[in-house]
Structure 1
């Protein structure tokens, strides 16, 4: 039940509307563990269940983590992003029917051919939305010297695509993202926050999917 020193943490709320919270951490053996909170209790209050709550054993020591949950083809999906021992950003997911919690996770796959800036990278964030971008966006500190965006679309053939590279962003610092849907229509925004290496301040950049006319500074 002890988290590894300097390891990442992630959390997401189940997309089935139940309010179930999924939390992730790396244990002393390097395994990524899932702990679920629902109905006033955590699944790992019973330590005997730790072994069946392993998401992956492929993460590097101290990996940053990011998690999302969404609906797709009548399934509730929860998805975790992590860094492997070779500095590659990978993802694994688990599909379940509403009201259940599946324990099986997919074989981790690489999100891009790029590598992170260092094994100790803390910059990793993921956002998902059915409106606007209709897919998943992931942001991480790249060895190319800045924050890189990769994306996966729900309405096209599956496949991760390299999107924007943020100039003057700090690949060794943190990064965060959040979506905003306007009027519950198929429009919306994604906001990304990162450290600007020129000014040293936290910079907000946003994309308006109703216009799709490029990134703007907030």
Structure 2
């Protein structure tokens, strides 16, 4: 039996301590990562609850419930940050990607704890594939926030649209990697490829 709460405490405790002595910007970045880990922990509870209420087995929940729960839970800390602190679009977009990275990190650690560390190939596929998927979904939401949040009449509809897009992409990834063999390799390589394309396209634009 895996006690993910204990894993969460071990990971978050040193990050919280170092936040106390770091500068504001760096400490805020670490807090976003902690928020991502917290979202992952809460997503596990919420997904299990909905799976029990709907009498859905874990395989079907991976495709039907988890993508929606996880993407919404990743967005909630950022929504709080935007509404309460009136954050600017740039810091919100960066924070969303850090939340996604924290989420993926905690999920990978839980996977490692549950399945062991003997199979290096599986861990590489899991670490890079799933990690890239969460970051790509977070980046989609971040780009949506950056482009739409300054227009009040687009905030609600646009935010709902980009979250639905992220949920759909997440669910498609889970379906593809749910099968062994070539499908698993293709599904894991796809978000990594998208992430590389994002890097090549967006970073030159931000430097100009």
Higher helix proportion (structure 1 or 2) = 2
Greater RCO structure (CA 8 Å; 6+ sep): 2
Q: Aligning the two structures, in what range does the TM-score lie when normalised by the shorter sequence?
A: under 0.3
- Compute the TM-score of the two structures, normalised by the length of structure 2: 0.24
Higher strand proportion (structure 1 or 2) = 1
- Compute the TM-score of the two structures, normalised by the length of structure 1: 0.23
